[in-house]
């Protein structure tokens, strides 16, 4: 109608400019693309409609009486007023929506800040507990407060604290990987029966200390079954469930069941269960325990320690294996965690894995090894482990020194090469080493937890294998024996 009024209609065109500038006037308006699209589309639709409809009424305007003009003017003004109201309301509702969104964002940021503070204080507490024990034992040994020569017991305490701190750091790295979407499984053919039979061994002492019975039933159908699996990650889940079961049980027993549900030529379906007779979990807490850093705390619960990460990590691992962990529990009666995995069967184990029980007694490897490591303690540890069992050990503290040793000593047939070193790192050093001696075996030595990306990079650079730090004697020689000849000592 404005259009049909001829010149008069120009008075209303300014509204179009207003409507189109609205999103720029509202703070953060450009972030809400959906709403702005609705606003623009409805405006353009109104405009197009008026262009289509108005010519249909053109003849009525040919001879307009004064009353008609008056009537049209009132109608026109009213419609304009209504439109302004509608657009203002729309603008208001958008502003309200934006303000609500901003306050939700603010609340989320505050929650995240609170979570971080809780996480840090939890972690700090757990680390300080271990450091306190290490401090206590070293002060006793160094301060001369001990009447007797420090015996194995004190070193066992240090070893225990060391292991706990390592677990803590690994949990932190795992949760970081999970939250940033970089978590992945590293699958290999493995025979699960033997491994599952031994999995409760590290917990025997802990259960005995609390007078708890620790029972494990492993289905005999698993004997001789080789599957493609990330064995370390399955172990991590089971360790976490069993250690929780022991931690939260004061009397009774812990049972670990492994049952074969289905076994055919290509797959095996296995059910895992960890059951305890402990304090149990209230129904309203059953879902929360899988959230990272969540621990059930109330006046009745004594402080059990821990970070609240174990179940969150376990659930993500099982999730990556296309399954889920479920939990049944009754307060005061006990808890049962279970998950079922469908694993792909493999023909047989690769040869290198068969001899996993070696390296307990006397043995020697027919090999001359160069250890390249900038950390003096790691170097001392690796050299001490190697010296007794290999032909000769040379050492270097950076990539440049490694190249020199390789040029000097033609008898070196294997290099343990740290990746992060000053002067020249392992990634650069291997290029030169392989040019001088293409036949030499080079094993990467790293404190990073290997991912597919790192493994691929190492592979393309010519590394033959990888050894993660910290490592024990068994892990070191399991890797080495694949590349060297073993002779009876
Ligand atoms: P953490 O054991 O380090 O606290 P978890 O993620 O492993 O962390 O467990 C989270 C919480 O779930 C525990 O703090 C505990 O409250 C509860 N929980 C886990 N397992 C059990 C269990 N077997 N019995 C009772 N409560 C449990």
Q: Per-residue DSSP letters for 256-273? A: EEEEEEEE-SSEEEEEEE
Binding site membership of 454 for ligand 1 (Cβ less than 6 Å): no
Q: Is the pLDDT of residue 405 over 80?
A: yes
Query: What's the confidence (pLDDT) of residue 257?
Result: 92
Residue 33 phi/psi, 5-degree rounding, is -60, -40
Instruction: Please report the atom of ligand 1 found closest to the CA of residue 308.
Output: 8
**CA-to-CA distance for 33 and 36, rounded, in angstroms?**
5
Residue with the larger pLDDT of the pair 222 and 455: 222
Query: What's the confidence (pLDDT) of residue 185?
Result: 81
- Under the banding of pLDDT at 50, 70 and 90, the label for residue 289 is confident
Contact 265, 345 (CB under 8 A): yes
Mean pLDDT of 15-40: 71
Binding site membership of 365 for ligand 1 (Cβ less than 6 Å): no
Q: Who's near 228: CB < 8 A, 6+ residues apart? A: 187, 188, 189, 190, 343, 344, 345, 346
Fold of 353-488: Rossmann fold (3.40.50)
Binding site membership of 309 for ligand 1 (Cβ less than 6 Å): yes
Q: Specify the residue with its C-alpha closest to ligand 1, atom 7.
A: 310
pLDDT in tens, 435-474: 888 888 899 888 776 667 777 888 888 888 888 887 778 8
Beta bridge partners, 216, equal: 256
Q: Is the pLDDT of residue 26 over 70?
A: no
Angle at Cα 344 formed by Cα 339 and Cα 346, nearest 5°?
135
Binding site membership of 276 for ligand 1 (Cβ less than 6 Å): yes
pLDDT in tens, 305-356: 667 788 988 998 999 899 999 999 998 899 999 999 999 888 876 655 545 4
Left, alpha or beta for 181 (phi > 0: left; psi -120 to 50: alpha)?
left
Binding site membership of 278 for ligand 1 (Cβ less than 6 Å): yes
Closest CA to 284 of 299, 294, 274: 294
- C-alpha distance from residue 11 to each of 50, 53, 67, 224, 411 (Å): 16, 20, 21, 89, 96
Q: Which of 123, 170, 242, 248 is the best mutation target for the ligand 1 pocket, counting ligand atoms within 8 Å of the beta carbon and taking the most? A: 248
- Under the banding of pLDDT at 50, 70 and 90, the label for residue 149 is low
Contact 471, 445 (CB under 8 A): no
Mean pLDDT of 52-74: 72
Closest CA to 313 of 233, 258, 231: 233
Query: What's the confidence (pLDDT) of residue 475?
Result: 80
- Under the banding of pLDDT at 50, 70 and 90, the label for residue 489 is very low
pLDDT in tens, 163-215: 888 888 888 888 877 877 777 788 888 888 888 888 888 888 888 888 999 99
pTM for this model (two decimals):
0.64
**Which CATH number among 3.60.15.10, 3.40.50.880, 3.20.20.80, 3.30.565.10 corresponds to the domain 188-349?**
3.30.565.10
Binding site membership of 316 for ligand 1 (Cβ less than 6 Å): no
Query: What's the confidence (pLDDT) of residue 7?
Result: 44
Query: What's the confidence (pLDDT) of residue 354?
Result: 45
Long-range Cβ contacts of 241-244 (<8 Å, 24+ apart): 241/274, 241/314, 241/337, 242/199, 242/200, 242/203, 242/214, 242/274, 243/203, 243/206, 243/310, 244/310, 244/311
Residue with the larger pLDDT of the pair 325 and 296: 325
Instruction: Please report the atom of ligand 1 found closest to the CA of residue 294.
Output: 10
Rounded mean pLDDT of the chain? 81
Contact 207, 246 (CB under 8 A): yes
Binding site membership of 244 for ligand 1 (Cβ less than 6 Å): yes
CA 393 distance to own-chain centroid: 37
Token digits for 196? 């599952």
Closest CA to 325 of 334, 315, 336, 310: 315
pLDDT in tens, 369-392: 999 988 888 888 888 888 888 888
| Sign, Cα dihedral of 373, 374, 375, 381 | positive
Query: What's the confidence (pLDDT) of residue 296?
Result: 67
């Amino acid at each position: 109608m404005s259009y049909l009024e001829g010149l008069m209609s120009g008075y209303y065109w300014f509204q179009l400019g207003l409507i189109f500038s609205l999103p720029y006037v509202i703070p953060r308006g450009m972030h809400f693309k959906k709403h702005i699209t609705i606003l623009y589309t409805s405006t353009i639709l109104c405009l197009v409609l008026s262009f289509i409809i108005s010519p249909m009424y053109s003849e009525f305007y040919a001879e307009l009486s004064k009353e008609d003009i008056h009537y049209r003017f009132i109608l026109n003004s009213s419609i304009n007023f209504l439109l302004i109201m509608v657009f203002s309301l729309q603008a208001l509702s958008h502003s309200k929506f934006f303000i609500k969104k901003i306050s939700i964002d603010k609340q989320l940021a505050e929650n995240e800040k609170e979570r971080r503070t809780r996480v840090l204080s939890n972690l700090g507490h757990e680390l300080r507990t271990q450091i306190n024990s290490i401090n206590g034992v070293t002060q006793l040994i160094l301060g001369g407060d001990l009447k007797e020569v420090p015996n194995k017991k004190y070193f066992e305490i240090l070893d225990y604290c060391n292991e706990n701190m390592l677990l803590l750091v690994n949990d932190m790295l795992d949760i970081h990987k999970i939250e940033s979407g970089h978590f992945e499984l590293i699958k290999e053919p493995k025979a699960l029966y033997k491994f599952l039979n031994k999995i409760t061994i590290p917990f025997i002492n802990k259960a005995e200390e609390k007078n708890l019975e620790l029972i494990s039933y492993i289905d005999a159908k698993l004997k001789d079954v080789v599957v493609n699996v990330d064995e370390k990650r399955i172990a991590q889940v089971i360790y976490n469930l069993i250690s929780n079961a022991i931690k939260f049980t004061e009397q009774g027993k812990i049972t670990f069941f492994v049952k074969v549900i289905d076994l055919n030529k290509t797959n095996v379906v296995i059910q895992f269960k960890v059951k305890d007779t402990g304090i149990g979990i209230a129904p309203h807490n059953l879902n929360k325990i899988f959230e990272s850093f969540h621990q059930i705390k109330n006046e009745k619960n004594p402080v059990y320690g821990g970070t609240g990460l174990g179940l969150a990590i376990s659930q993500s691992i099982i999730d990556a294996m296309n399954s889920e962990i479920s939990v049944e529990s009754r307060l005061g009666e006990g808890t049962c965690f279970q998950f079922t995995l469908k694993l792909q069967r493999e023909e047989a184990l690769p040869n290198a894995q068969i001899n996993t029980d070696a390296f307990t007694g006397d043995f020697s490897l027919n090999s001359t090894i160069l250890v390249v490591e900038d950390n003096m303690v790691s170097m001392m540890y690796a050299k001490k482990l190697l010296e007794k069992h290999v032909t000769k050990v040379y050492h270097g503290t950076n990539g440049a020194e490694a190249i020199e040793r390789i040029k000097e000593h033609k008898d070196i047939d294997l290099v343990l090469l740290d990746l992060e070193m000053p002067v020249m790192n392992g990634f650069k050093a291997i290029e030169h080493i392989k040019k001088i001696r293409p036949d030499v075996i080079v094993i990467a030595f790293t404190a990073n937890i290997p991912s597919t990306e790192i493994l691929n990079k190492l592979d393309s650079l010519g590394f033959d294998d990888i050894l993660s730090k910290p490592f024990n004697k068994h892990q070191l020689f399991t890797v080495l024996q694949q590349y060297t000849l073993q002779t009876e000592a």
